Structure 1
Amino acid sequence: MIPLACEHLVGHSEDPTIFKKPQLVPIQDLKLLVRDYPPIAKNALTILVNISHDAEVLENLASDDTFIEILLKKITDPKETAADEVAMLLSNLAKSDQMEKLITLKRASPAKDVSTSEYALDQLFDCFVKGADGGLNKNANFDYLAYLLADMSKHEAGRQHFLSKREYDGVVPISKLMVFTEHKSHIRRRGVASTIKNVAFETQKHPLLLADDTDIIDGSPGVNMLPYILLPLAGSEEYSEEESANMLPDLQLLPPDKARESDNEIVLTHLETLLLLSTTREGRDKMRSAGVYPLIRETHLRVDNDEVREACDRLVQLIMGDEEETPRIEEVVDDDGKIEEIF
C-alpha cells in the first residue's frame, strides 16, 4: 500500500502547501522515505524535487545536515537507481545559501572510481564529469549537477575552489568543464556556461583561464578557456583566408554542418564571459590575436535576438576600440545562480 500511496502523492506535488501541514511533518516523513527501498525512495525524491521551490521547504531541507549526507551517499553510489532524482533535488537545494557548506564539507570518500577526494563538492564534480552519458552509473547522467555547480560558483569560496588545483588529482576543476560547452544535453550546456561565466569574475585568474594548457600559471596548466567559449558561437560561415588564418586552430576548418548554439540565453552567457575576459588589457589583446572579431560579427548578423546583438556590440567596442577607458565590473546574482555583470 505504501508504494501506491507514495506514487499517488507525486501527482499532488504541484502544490507544496499540501505537504507543509501540520508543521512540515509530511516533509519529515518524505525524508525518511528517501531511505526506503527504490520505488518508494524515487517517488519521495520526485515529490521533494517538485516542492523544494517553496522557500520554507527549501530551507528545511537545506539546513538538515543529516538529510544532505543521505543525498550525498546516494548520489555517489554507482548503483543508485535514483541518482538523477537526487541530482535534481541537490540542484534545487543549492538555491539556498546554506548549501555553501558543500564547498568545505568533508565526508567519507566514495568508491575510488567515483572520487578519491574527501570533499563533498569534489565528489559531486567528479560525478558530473565521469557520469556524463551513463559513464559512472548506468541509471544516471548527472546532468542536473550543472545547475548545482553554477550555484556554488556564485559564492567567492566556490569560485576559488573551481580555480585552484586540487590536491587529490592535481587538476584545476573548471578545466574539467570546458568539454561540455557543446554537449548534447541542454541542461549541461546551460549550467556549464553559467559556471564558466561566474568564475570569470575573478579577474586575477584571467591569466590562468586564458593560458594554453601547455603553459604553467602559478603551478597549474592553463585552462585554455577561449576556444571552448568560442566554438558554441561558431556556425558554418566561411571567412576570408586572412580572417581564418588569425583564428584559433579549433575555430579553423569547421565542418559545413557546424551549428551555432541554438539557445540564445546560452549564447548570451558566453558573450558575457568574453566581455568579462575583456576587462583586462591582456584579455583584450588575447581576443585580438585570436581573431575573435569576425566570429562575433557573424554572430551579430545571424542571431535574431536584441540582447545577443547588444552584447556583440559591447564586445566589439572593447576589443576593437581604444585603450583610454578601463572597463569595470560589479556582481549581481540572479535567481539561476548566474552572476550578472554591470559595466
Structure 2
Amino acid sequence: MSTSKELEDLVEFLHHGNTQIRQVSAEHLVGYSQTHTSLFKRNQLEPVKDLKLLVLDYAPIAKNALTVLINISHDVEILRNLANDDAFLGTLLSRITYPKEESANEIAMLLANMAKDDSMQRVLDLKRDIPAGLSTSKWAMDQLLDCFVKGAEGAYNKFANFDYLAYFFADLAKFSEGRIYLTSPQPHDSNIIPLTKLQVFTDHASHIRRLGVASTIKNATFHIPAHPILLSNLSPDPTLPPPHQGVNLLPYILLPLMGPEEYPPEDTEGMLDECQLLEPDKEREKDTEIMKTHLESLLLLSTNREGRDVLRAVQIYPIIRECHMQVENEEVREACDRLVQVLMRKEEGEEEDEVPNAGDAGGRMVELNQDDDEEDDDERIVDIL
C-alpha cells in the first residue's frame, strides 16, 4: 500500500462498524504512524478522535490505537488535542488502574508523552474513584504512584511494569505544584512523602525506571524550601516542621555514583552508613546521563549554605573524587568538578583553612520503533524494541 488515496481510505476504516475492518486498519496504520503524521491530521484531526475511541475497543485494537497515538503525539497540535481532552484523560486513568488492562504499559507511555504539555499538571488536582486492591487514595497522582511501585515487581497487573510512568513524574516535577506534591507529607497517606516511593528505584534493573526517577529527583530538588526535608536522614526530625518527616535522599543519589572502592578511615568518618562497607562487587551506574543527572541534583542541593554544610558533613567529597577518577566521561567529570568547586570554596566569614573537605530534566518522549540516535538527550524519543 503506497498511494495517498489508499492510506486515506485506511484511515477512514478506523471508525468502520465492522470490528475486523477496524482491527486491520489500526494494525496497518501502526507502521505509517512513524512517518506519516500528517495522515492523522486530516479533517480537523478526525483520525485522532477515532483512535481515542478505539482505546476502549477490543484489546488488540486498543493496543494498536495506543501505539499509533504514542507515535504521532510528538506533533504539537496532536499532543495538545490529547492532553487537553478531559474525557480522554479520564479514560486513560481508568484503564491504567484496571488490574487486567493488557495495554497498561502503552498507556503509561502515552501519558508520559502527554505530560510534555503544560495542561497535564491538572492531574495533580484530579480526584478519581478508588481502585480496589491498588490504592486507598482518591487522588489520581497517588494511584499512578501506586501503579509504579507495585509494577516494579509485577504485583498488580501481570501485563505491565508501568516503568514509563517515571518519565511522567519527571515532567510533572518541572512544575512548582508537582515539586511541592513530591516533597510534601501526604496526610491521607500516613504522611508519606511521595518522593520516598520513587527514590528507592535509583538502582533498579530497569534503565527506563532509573533514568526517569533520576530526572524526577533532579526536578524536585529545584524546590529549594524542601531541601531540609530532602537532606534529613532522621525520622522523626525535630528540626523539620510537623510531621517531622525526612526523605533521606542522599544515599539514593550517592550509591549509583559509587563503585567497590575502599576509603581510608579519615574519609569514611561521618560518611552515611549506607555508603560504607559496600560489597566488593558493587557496580557504579553505567549510564553516564543518569550519573550526570545525580551529580546535578547534588549541585542543586548545595544551593544554600545549609545544604553545603550537610554535604560536607557526610563526606561527599571523597565519593565525588573517586567518581571523577573512575569514570572516563568528560560530562560526568565536568559535573564532578562543578560540585567540588562549590563544596571547597570559602564560605562568607570563613578563612580558607576553615572550609572542610569537601537546568530542568524532563521526562522522555516515547515512540515505538524509531531510530533516535541524532536526537538531543533532553528531547530524545526512547525506542521500544
Band of TM-score, shorter chain: over 0.9
1:48 aligns with 2:72: no
Q: CA deviation at 1:320?
A: 2.0
Deviations 1:4-44 (CA, angstroms, capped at 9, x unpaired): 22111111110211211122111111011100011111111
- TM-score (ref. length: structure 1): 0.93
- 8 A Cα contact 2:185 2:245, kept in partner: no
Give, in whole Å, the separation in 2 of the partners of 1:4 and 1:213: 58
- 8 A Cα contact 1:84 1:144, kept in partner: yes
Structure 2 portions without partners, runs of 5+: 1-19, 350-358, 365-377, 379-385
1:5 aligns with 2:5: no
Query: What residue number does 1:328 align with?
Result: none
- 8 A Cα contact 1:215 1:222, kept in partner: yes
After TM superposition, the structure 1 = structure 2 runs for residues 87-236 of structure 1, keeping only pairs within 5 Å, are 87-111=108-132, 113-170=133-190, 171-216=192-237, 217-218=240-241, 219-236=243-260
Q: Which amino acid in 1 is paired with 2:252?
A: Y
After TM superposition, the structure 1 = structure 2 runs for residues 243-254 of structure 1, keeping only pairs within 5 Å, are 243-254=267-278
Instruction: Give secondary structure in 2 for the equivalent of 1:275.
Output: helix
Q: Which amino acid in 2 is paired with 1:291?
A: Q
Query: What residue number does 1:329 align with?
Result: none
Query: What residue number does 1:75 align with?
Result: 96
Alignment length (residue pairs): 331
Deviations 1:289-329 (CA, angstroms, capped at 9, x unpaired): 1111111001111212222111111111122221039xxxx
Give, in whole Å, the separation in 2 of the partners of 1:78 and 1:202: 34
After TM superposition, the structure 1 = structure 2 runs for residues 6-45 of structure 1, keeping only pairs within 5 Å, are 6-14=26-34, 15-45=36-66
Q: CA deviation at 1:167?
A: 2.4
Q: CA deviation at 1:261?
A: 0.7
Give, in whole Å, the separation in 1 of the partners of 2:86 and 2:296: 36
> Residues 274 and 334 (structure 1 numbering): CA distance in 2 closer, same or farther, change over 3 Å?
closer
Instruction: Give secondary structure in 1 for the equivalent of 2:283.
Output: coil
1:277 aligns with 2:301: yes
Q: CA deviation at 1:136?
A: 1.3
- 8 A Cα contact 1:87 1:142, kept in partner: yes
- 8 A Cα contact 2:212 2:363, kept in partner: no
Q: Which amino acid in 2 is paired with 1:145?
A: L
Give, in whole Å, the separation in 1 of the partners of 2:362 and 2:134: 30
Give, in whole Å, the separation in 1 of the partners of 2:362 and 2:184: 26
- 8 A Cα contact 2:267 2:318, kept in partner: yes
Give, in whole Å, the separation in 1 of the partners of 2:180 and 2:130: 22
Deviations 1:139-171 (CA, angstroms, capped at 9, x unpaired): 100000000000111000111111111122121
Q: Which has the larger radius of gyration?
A: 2
Give, in whole Å, the separation in 1 of the partners of 2:281 and 2:206: 19
Instruction: Give secondary structure in 2 for the equivalent of 1:11.
Output: helix
Residue from 261, 281, 287 that aligns with 1:257: 281
Deviations 1:160-196 (CA, angstroms, capped at 9, x unpaired): 1111111221211011111101111111111111111
1:321 aligns with 2:341: no
Q: Which amino acid in 2 is paired with 1:316?
A: V
Instruction: Give secondary structure in 1 for the equivalent of 2:277.
Output: coil
1:242 aligns with 2:266: yes
Query: What residue number does 1:306 align with?
Result: 330
> Residues 167 and 296 (structure 1 numbering): CA distance in 2 closer, same or farther, change over 3 Å?
same
Query: What residue number does 1:60 align with?
Result: 81
- 8 A Cα contact 1:133 1:140, kept in partner: no
Give, in whole Å, the separation in 1 of the partners of 2:102 and 2:345: 54
Give, in whole Å, the separation in 2 of the partners of 1:22 and 1:210: 53
Give, in whole Å, the separation in 2 of the partners of 1:83 and 1:222: 33
Give, in whole Å, the separation in 2 of the partners of 1:167 and 1:289: 31
> Residues 246 and 334 (structure 1 numbering): CA distance in 2 closer, same or farther, change over 3 Å?
closer
Q: Which amino acid in 1 is paired with 2:69?
A: L
Counting aligned pairs with the same residue, the percent is 57
Give, in whole Å, the separation in 2 of the partners of 1:167 and 1:23: 45
Give, in whole Å, the separation in 2 of the partners of 1:302 and 1:246: 23
- 8 A Cα contact 1:172 1:220, kept in partner: no
Stretch deviating more after TM superposition (309-318 or 72-81) = 309-318
Deviations 1:63-92 (CA, angstroms, capped at 9, x unpaired): 110000000000011111110000000000
Q: CA deviation at 1:335?
A: 5.5
Q: CA deviation at 1:225?
A: 0.5
Q: CA deviation at 1:220?
A: 3.8
Stretch deviating more after TM superposition (85-94 or 102-111) = 102-111
Q: CA deviation at 1:118?
A: 1.4
